[in-house]
Structure 1
Amino acid sequence: MAAGALLSLGMRAMNANYAALQATGHNIANANTAGYSRQTVELASSGGQFTGAGFFGKGVDVATVSRAYSDFLTREAAVTASVAAADEARFRQLQQMEKVFPLGEDGIGYAASQMFNAFVDVANKPADASSRQVVLARTGEFAARLAAAAGQLDTIQSGVTEEIRNSISAVNMLAGKVATLNNQIAAAKGAGHSPNDLLDQRDQAIKELSGYLQVSTVSAPDGSLSVFIGGGQKLVLGAVPTRLVAVTDQFDPSRLQLGVDDSGSLREMPNELLSGGSIAGLIRFQNEDLVAARNQLGQLASAVAGNLNRQQALGLDGRTPPQFGDPLLRLGAPAVLPSSGNAAVAGVPVASYVNGSGVRVPSVGLTIVEPSELQASDYELYADPTLPAGSYTLTRKSDGTSQTVSNGSLVDGFRVDIAAPAPAARDRFLLQPVANAARNAARVMSDPKGLAAASPVAATFAVANTGTAASAGLAATAVNASAAPLSATITFTDDSGNYSWTLRDASNAVVRSGTGSWSAGQPIRSDAWTPATPAQQVDWSLQLSGVPKSGDVIGIAATQFAAADNGNANAMLALRDAGIVGRQQLGAGLTVPGITVTDAYANVLAEVGVRVQGAELSYQQSTTIAEDAKKALDDKTGVNLDEEAARLIQFQQSYQAAAKMLQVAQSLFDTLLQTAGV
């Protein structure tokens, strides 16, 4: 009887230590398996058997095989890894975008300076063909750099779009894997033990999911784990996955957003709920950083091209006879993008209400009025049903500033145009005054003679003048080529700046006359005279230096020798140092002055640099936190080969001791048999 008990003890001990050796070997084999958690054989005493001499132990039983696991550390590692993935995705894209705006001679700012500087030689030699050709060459180089930068931004957008699509496909695959594992785990749980390897595989799949989207999990009694994203949107519910889809932005089809296909119903996920994962980082880059860069580039392009073309139109070119200048640069047109969720227009669904180019025809448009006042922003127009009919809410998306507008309202350098059919209540439109400006930028003038270097008007000061007044600048302010040219005579009536003016036609007949007053620092403008001047070919602004005296006479007439005049060339050169970018009208006569082109490009570089540095710092910090969380999890669940080697020796010795116990039991049994005479 004693020998049998000893045999039973030995067998139990051998089985237990063999199981421990098997688990240790499994740990060693999977030491480098991603997501594997260390497993341990849990042993339990088999209890005792009562005898008259007391309770004698019956050995050991294998209770179960457990895995090293911490719910808190697992969640912490997943969340921190998700944040790090978002920061990394955004940082990598910003690094690419930074290359679009190079420094030094390769930059757009340098090309703009070279273009304006080329007008120096034209101003010195207005009739010189080679100087004019240099201006055209520099203009072409500037336009080419604008177009190249816009093309690179479009390429980056295409890359982001493709990466979002691929990431969503990966999420769907992982969600399906989690659902399958949930089903297998729930079935295995019925046996009363945890399927450790399946649990590890599920945790690893959720960890990989966290790299794409930040997820939260809720466990169920059957062992399954439901996965949620975006503050509560189900991704996996038990054994049923939800399919994610890439949906086009409601305004801009070139951009993608994250959507959910819930039983055939497509819904767009609010971006503000996507707080982690590479998809969130890509969407943030696409919707914020890339939009800001495109708008800053477009603002610079619009300001330069708009002012240059406008000044070109105010001058006379080198053709015979001289003509008012044609445009030098062509830019991409401003755009109005209706929301895909807008109501039907005139009974036709928005999705099919298109023009010949396949673009939705909006009932909203915009017209650039003052290029110097354009801001680096998109705008959203909303048909707010709480406002009176014909009024709309316009929000500048760069800073969230809102105002009420109607048809013809002037905002930040552009005019809002609303035509019939009027937008329905709650319709939305995305207005892009400058976002597409640099796209397809090109020089449109090829003939050097087309450069309008001459001013259409010239000033003369009578020889008999006694004051010190001289011209500090005479510039055309508007041109009406179909109107007749008129000459002006300004006669000062006292020493305080009061004067009389007279307009005459080509026959020297008086057309209109009046009086005005000049003060130091203020120009004399023909379009400000009272009574208003009749339609004339050129309106102009004369800036004086010195002080006129009573009886002094100034004449303004059409330029007689346009080929030798450099007035408009000087005006175009002056744009180099003028604040033509980003001027703001704040109302009540308050104006925020604009900045020069070179300063504007420097601001672009600074803005992109700040974004890159901020993203890099966030990436470094979140990566460090994620690595610390992973290390804490690995310390808890990872396999230490030195420790496993020690356990291998421990369990080997225990197994050998158990085998020795069986040997002793066998010897005792043999002795008993011999004693019994068997």
Structure 2
Amino acid sequence: MSLLNVGARALLANQAALQTAGHNIANVSTPGYSRQTVVLQTVQGQFTGGGYIGKGVDVQTIQRNHSELLTRQSTAASAVDAGDTVRMDRLRQLQEVFSGGTSGIGASINDMMNALSDVVSAPTDLTARSVALTRMDETAARMRDASQRLDEIGYTVAEQLKGSMLTVNSLAKNIAGVNEQIARAKGNGQPANDLLDQRDQLIRELNQHIQTSQVAADDGSVSVFVAGSQPLVLGSKAAELSIGDPADFGAGSGQKVLYFQQPGSATKVELNESMLGGGQVAGLLRFQNNDLAEGRNLLGRMAVAISESMNSQNKLGLTLNGQPGENLFAPINLGNAVAGTSNTSGATMGLQVADPTKLQASSYEIAFTGATTGSVTRHSDNKVFVFATMADLQTIMANDGLALTDGGPPPLTPFPGAAASDKFLVNPLVGAAALLQSLQYSPTDLAAANPVNAAMGTANGGTLQLASLKATGEPAGLVLPPNANPAALPPIAGGIQLQFNAGPPTTYDVLNRGTNPPTTVATAQPYTAGQPINFNGWQITLKGAPKSGDTVTVGNATDPQYSDWYKRDTGNASALMALRDVPMFDNATLADGFASAMAQVGTRTQSAQFAAELSSSIAANLERDRTAVSGVNLDEEAARLIQYQQAYQASAKMIQIAQNIFDTLIQGLGR
């Protein structure tokens, strides 16, 4: 009987080994499956006077070939890889918006500015004027199109985040359910290998969306935590995650955050984005809140700068009809700052462009510690500026090209202040590109002419020469020189005259010839050759040395004494064209501004690509190490099948021999 028992145990043990090898082969392509191995143990022998006689073999357990350390490292690395990869993919889409070539925004801006050169060459050519206005319309259209494409990318990201939330919450519930099954199965004293594999695979899938950490419990369950310490799964209970607007500024911030809600609780906890680690959700939030926001700010800054600078300059010139120029583009309303949801003062903060050349592609958070004190945080570089008075605050914002108003109807007044602990989010450029719209379509409405002209005195004896004359509108707007009135008695000559005294030092007096006799406006003003002279919103630059009594008269271009000369003048068209060389975008000129934006987005994309390649390599190496321990090798399993088959056949032979011996023994006893 002992021999029969030994053979039966061996037969069952080898049958279990064959079944386990077959199970491994069947699951060779199953995601997350860990190779299983039969662990055999010797049955304690029976003591006799001649020593211990063996009683065969038993199956101790089915061992799961698994390394907890490698599994966790591989899971964490794959989470980082997923976050870096999805961000890189979205940045590539963003880079396509900021692409070069003839169809890009940069080409349209250059074409717009270069078209003005034909107007300078032929100011009465209506075709040249029409082409310039058409180029402006094309630039506005491409800006709007680019803004729409950014909105589409943002919509796609939002939908992907919603899908990730559904998947995350479903996976969390599944993990909680498997936890419960494992805890029940642990009572039988043997590990539930397939359930453990299933849970590990669910955790790996969860980490593709959001990085987690795990803590094992004594009952065999695993607690899953997100953002460092928030329990997404505790035993058989799962919490929920959701995407929403930040609590401090709400939907007006344009940002998205991740919320955590414990089971049975109505309170949602806003999770810190910097604590999320890897996973697609973290990568998408980083893209949404940083990369896409910067792209919108870069595009919006260009739109606002083009609109403000070209509108201001065109309004300083004269049209073919002799009328002051009007806006070339629809003025872009920057709107109001977003008030914090916990503000107590009810104050409204309006935004205006103070200087388009100083605008930063950034948003700002203004936090008040008192009615007129607080700090400004610039989000693009996280620099903090402290202000002690409202004048300090206005200066800080003016340095970045903005002015703060009370946000009420005209006439606008400076922002008066707020209550302590009030906060405001200044985000003026995000949607600006979508508002860029060309207004002028008639070629006669392009204000190409200078509104003022200059003439040297016919009796001048010095070497004075006109270097430049232009309208600036600074500091308080343009005031044109008075027209002549030959019908008056005595006749009024008109214009503003500069009358020089050779000195030393060389000086000039300013005379208003709109009255008779002329009125002296200023006397003994110092003259330096090549130094601009500013007066009433226009600027004249002279070269050479005057003699006493030399004069220069600046006249109104529409004065009848100058006939229709303004139709052939191109002073303002030249000033419009000169805007392309004005530093506007972090020291980049208007012509090079889009190239600068391309470089910024391209640098982000390249950095994200490097990060994705590195994280992918690390994740692949760790997964290879994990599968080296847990993966199924078909050649090895085939060899084991042969080994266990032979052992099974030998065990069966043992039973057969035992049976023959037993039959012989019975027959012998029967005689």
TM-score normalized by the length of structure 2: 0.91
Q: Does the 8 A contact of 1:40 with 1:67 survive in 2?
A: yes
Q: How many residues align?
A: 633
| C-alpha distance in structure 2 between counterparts of 1:331 and 1:63, whole Å | 82
Shift in CA distance, 61/415, structure 1 to aligned 2, threshold 3 Å: same
Q: Does the 8 A contact of 1:307 with 1:580 survive in 2?
A: no
Aligned partner of 1:308 in structure 2 is 310
Aligned partner of 2:485 in structure 1 is none
Q: Does the 8 A contact of 2:366 with 2:376 survive in 1?
A: yes
Q: Does the 8 A contact of 2:134 with 2:441 survive in 1?
A: no
Per-residue CA deviation, residues 119-160 of structure 1 (Å, 9 max, x unaligned), is 122222223222211111000011111111111111111111
Corresponding residue to 1:187 among 184, 189, 211: 184
Corresponding residue to 2:402 among 414, 419, 422: 414
Q: Does the 8 A contact of 2:223 with 2:233 survive in 1?
A: yes
What is the Cα deviation at residue 450 of structure 1? Answer: 1.5
Corresponding residue to 2:500 among 482, 492, 508: 492
Aligned partner of 2:491 in structure 1 is none
One-letter amino acid matched to 2:583: G
Q: Helix, strand or coil for the counterpart of 1:258?
A: strand
Corresponding residue to 2:22 among 22, 25, 32: 25
Is 1:566 the equivalent of 2:566? no
Shift in CA distance, 34/134, structure 1 to aligned 2, threshold 3 Å: same
Q: Which moved more, 1:399-408 or 1:96-105?
A: 399-408
| C-alpha distance in structure 2 between counterparts of 1:498 and 1:333, whole Å | 45
| C-alpha distance in structure 1 between counterparts of 2:155 and 2:345, whole Å | 31
Corresponding residue to 2:534 among 504, 517, 525: 525
Is 1:462 the equivalent of 2:444? no
Corresponding residue to 1:124 among 89, 96, 121: 121
Q: Helix, strand or coil for the counterpart of 1:542?
A: strand
Q: Does the 8 A contact of 2:390 with 2:416 survive in 1?
A: no
Corresponding residue to 2:43 among 42, 46, 49: 46
Is 1:617 the equivalent of 2:610? yes
Matching of residues 108-507 of structure 1 within 5 Å: 108-250=105-247, 251=249, 253=251, 254-262=254-262, 263-319=265-321, 322-330=322-330, 332-338=332-338, 341-344=341-344, 363-384=348-369, 388-405=370-387, 407=390, 409-410=394-395, 411=397, 412-418=400-406, 423-478=418-473, 485=482, 487-494=495-502, 496-505=505-514
Q: Does the 8 A contact of 2:481 with 2:496 survive in 1?
A: no
Aligned partner of 2:544 in structure 1 is 546
Aligned partner of 1:536 in structure 2 is none
| C-alpha distance in structure 1 between counterparts of 2:250 and 2:479, whole Å | 41
Q: Which moved more, 1:451-460 or 1:221-230?
A: 451-460
| C-alpha distance in structure 2 between counterparts of 1:223 and 1:331, whole Å | 66
| C-alpha distance in structure 2 between counterparts of 1:506 and 1:33, whole Å | 98
Aligned partner of 1:576 in structure 2 is 580
TM-score normalized by the length of structure 1: 0.90
| C-alpha distance in structure 2 between counterparts of 1:439 and 1:226, whole Å | 47
Which segments of 5 or more consecutive residues in structure 1 lack a partner in the other structure?
347-361, 528-538, 583-593
Shift in CA distance, 267/423, structure 1 to aligned 2, threshold 3 Å: farther
Q: Does the 8 A contact of 2:320 with 2:567 survive in 1?
A: yes
Aligned partner of 2:636 in structure 1 is 643
One-letter amino acid matched to 1:33: T
What is the Cα deviation at residue 218 of structure 1? Answer: 0.2
Aligned partner of 2:621 in structure 1 is 628
Q: Helix, strand or coil for the counterpart of 1:330?
A: coil
| C-alpha distance in structure 2 between counterparts of 1:432 and 1:424, whole Å | 21
Q: Does the 8 A contact of 2:106 with 2:594 survive in 1?
A: yes
What is the Cα deviation at residue 293 of structure 1? Answer: 1.5
What is the Cα deviation at residue 624 of structure 1? Answer: 0.6
What is the Cα deviation at residue 571 of structure 1? Answer: 0.9
Which segments of 5 or more consecutive residues in structure 2 lack a partner in the other structure?
408-414, 483-493
Shift in CA distance, 283/142, structure 1 to aligned 2, threshold 3 Å: same
What is the Cα deviation at residue 509 of structure 1? Answer: 4.2
Q: Does the 8 A contact of 1:316 with 1:454 survive in 2?
A: yes
| C-alpha distance in structure 1 between counterparts of 2:235 and 2:551, whole Å | 93
| C-alpha distance in structure 2 between counterparts of 1:656 and 1:462, whole Å | 125
One-letter amino acid matched to 2:323: Q
| C-alpha distance in structure 1 between counterparts of 2:499 and 2:260, whole Å | 76
What is the Cα deviation at residue 545 of structure 1? Answer: 3.1
One-letter amino acid matched to 1:522: Q
One-letter amino acid matched to 1:327: N
What is the Cα deviation at residue 172 of structure 1? Answer: 0.4
| C-alpha distance in structure 2 between counterparts of 1:514 and 1:645, whole Å | 108
Q: Does the 8 A contact of 1:490 with 1:500 survive in 2?
A: yes
What is the Cα deviation at residue 546 of structure 1? Answer: 3.3
Q: Helix, strand or coil for the counterpart of 1:10?
A: helix
One-letter amino acid matched to 2:535: S
Per-residue CA deviation, residues 388-434 of structure 1 (Å, 9 max, x unaligned), is 42223111111122223454614211112246895443222211232
Q: Does the 8 A contact of 1:363 with 1:421 survive in 2?
A: no
Per-residue CA deviation, residues 155-192 of structure 1 (Å, 9 max, x unaligned), is 11111111111111111010001000001100110111
Shift in CA distance, 424/178, structure 1 to aligned 2, threshold 3 Å: farther
| C-alpha distance in structure 2 between counterparts of 1:642 and 1:474, whole Å | 89
Shift in CA distance, 210/331, structure 1 to aligned 2, threshold 3 Å: farther
Q: Does the 8 A contact of 1:374 with 1:413 survive in 2?
A: yes
Per-residue CA deviation, residues 186-226 of structure 1 (Å, 9 max, x unaligned), is 01101111110000000000001111111100000000000
One-letter amino acid matched to 1:437: A
Q: Which moved more, 1:513-522 or 1:567-576?
A: 513-522
Q: Does the 8 A contact of 2:243 with 2:258 survive in 1?
A: yes
